[in-house]
Amino acid sequence: MGSPGLRVAIVGGGIGGMATANALVRHGIEVAVYEQAPELGEIGAGVLMTPNSVRLLERIGMGPALAAVGARIGDGSQYYRKDGTLVAPILTTDSQGWNGMYGMHRADLLTILADGLPNGVIHTNHQCVGFDQDEAAAHLQFDNGASATADVVIAADGIHSALQRYVVAPSRPVHSGSVAYRGLIPAERLPWWRRGVSQLWMGEGKHFLVYPVRSGELINYVGFVPSDERTTESWSAPGDPVALAAAFAGWDSPIERLLTQVDTTFWWGLYDREPLSTWTNGRLTLLGDAAHPMLPHVGQGANQAIEDAVALATLLATRDGNTAREALQAYESLRRPRVAEVQRGARANGQRYDSAYDDLNERDAEIAASVTFRSWLYDYDVEADAGELAGT
């Protein structure tokens, strides 16, 4: 159990913040989550949950809920060239053959995480506008006039984090040169679509990803296209279905058939950052996209935030208010090298998916060989490493 009296405040009620709250509660640590929105919610889009995070959520007790509302993704998942030529299978298991991969609706995942918390932990309508700390505690101020005091503050407030500036000098997000069209289609409108698989098609400057969510009731698609326009990072900027269909005209027939069923779509600007020099300042630390925003090309944004959550909770479990800062430094030293590697891997995969090669056979060979990187991702047990650091 957590040390008596340790108080943790989390700024941000997204996947990273809510996963951290659950991981802390599991260790008996007092926690409060402060979310600026009037209610918890995620715009309708999919997220791939991979074995490295699913095993952690299962330990917290969320396995049955994930299985109930997720869509299991398994054998038959494939990479293709844009004309449908098979390139390689997509890895959906760890090295032991355990299939811990789900397509999830973000709103469903957030609901699972919220339902795992005791009443009174989540405070909506709290936009953080100020932070300071002293030897004894950290202090937060909110736009509604409220304030909070804690031994530790975790900034899980996204790529545009309001608290990041208290840790490192401000840096601008890096635009990838691409935007993504995202949307969901009822599976009943695509009765011919292959069930229970993830499929990704790769072409010049573009790629197209499809996988199921919500127990297979919905098909999630993402079409990545080049753009110099600095589109919003928001999930909810409206896109043009006609422009989306035109961008993938002449591609493999399943994509063209799927796109005839798209009524509404949303634009998502793709940004990351160069790895930060530090995540921690005293009693404040960064987590998830506030610490390491990454491109979606290895599907690890949410999964790495969940790894962060469990690592941080494990390291704080043996600390009190006087020694919590040491746990934050240990968390940073454990997590920064791995997520920097994932950030770099996501950028490199984006180049592969967008066929930025003179010889596509070379690209295809790299895609086939990427099973090694995927295994490194999926086999990792952050709780074991954090426990070893904590001496537990």
CATH number reported for the structural domain that contains residue 385 in this entry: 3.50.50.60
CB atoms within 10 A of CB 216: 16
- Which pLDDT score, from 0 to 100, does residue 43 have? 66
Q: Which of 212, 183, 184 is nearest to 199 (CA)?
A: 212
- For residue 234, pLDDT beyond 60: no
Mean pLDDT of the chain: 94
Q: Rounded distance, CA 194 to CA 80, Å?
A: 14
Q: What is the pLDDT of residues 35-80, one digit of tens each?
A: 998 888 766 689 999 999 999 999 999 999 999 999 999 999 999 9
| 1 vs 345, more confident | 345
- Which pLDDT score, from 0 to 100, does residue 177 have? 84
**What is the share, in percent, of the chain residues with pLDDT greater than 70?**
96
Q: What is the pLDDT of residues 258-317, one digit of tens each?
A: 999 999 999 888 888 888 999 999 999 999 999 999 999 999 999 999 999 999 999 999
- Which pLDDT score, from 0 to 100, does residue 238 have? 78
- For residue 235, pLDDT beyond 90: no
Of the candidate ranges 95-99, 223-227, 349-353, the one whose mean pLDDT is the lowest: 223-227
In a domain, 184, yes or no: no
The arrangement of strands across the sheet holding 280-281 comes to 122-123, 30-34, 7-11, 152-155, 284-286, 280-281
pLDDT bucket at 368, cuts 50 / 70 / 90:
very high
The residues, any chain, with a CB within 8 Å of residue 321's CB and separated by 6 or more, are: 5, 6, 7, 136, 137, 151
In a domain, 50, yes or no: yes
Arithmetic mean of pLDDT, 371-392: 95
- For residue 1, pLDDT beyond 60: no
Name the active-site residue from 79, 80, 181, 211: 211
- Which pLDDT score, from 0 to 100, does residue 41 have? 72
Whether 271 sits among the annotated catalytic residues: the reply is no
Domains held by the chain: number:
1
Q: Which of 66, 102, 109 is nearest to 305 (CA)?
A: 109
Arithmetic mean of pLDDT, 8-13: 97
Q: Which of 298, 321, 317 is nearest to 309 (CA)?
A: 317
Arithmetic mean of pLDDT, 365-379: 97
In a domain, 97, yes or no: yes
Range of the domain at 66: 7-172+273-390
Of the candidate ranges 86-100, 171-185, 340-354, 368-382, the one whose mean pLDDT is the lowest: 171-185
- For residue 163, pLDDT beyond 70: yes
In a domain, 243, yes or no: no
Q: What is the pLDDT of residues 69-109, one digit of tens each?
A: 999 999 999 999 999 999 999 999 999 999 999 999 999 99
- Which pLDDT score, from 0 to 100, does residue 232 have? 53
In a domain, 251, yes or no: no
pLDDT bucket at 176, cuts 50 / 70 / 90:
confident
Q: Which of 212, 207, 195, 194 is nearest to 270 (CA)?
A: 207
- Which pLDDT score, from 0 to 100, does residue 16 have? 97
- Which pLDDT score, from 0 to 100, does residue 288 have? 97
- Which pLDDT score, from 0 to 100, does residue 37 have? 87
Largest CA distance in the chain: 63
In a domain, 212, yes or no: no
Q: At what angle do helices 371-379 and 51-60 cross, to 10 degrees?
A: 20
CA distances from residue 194 to 156, 187, 211 in whole angstroms, order as listed: 36, 10, 9
- Which pLDDT score, from 0 to 100, does residue 385 have? 97
Tokens of 94: 């760890």
In a domain, 15, yes or no: yes
In a domain, 247, yes or no: no
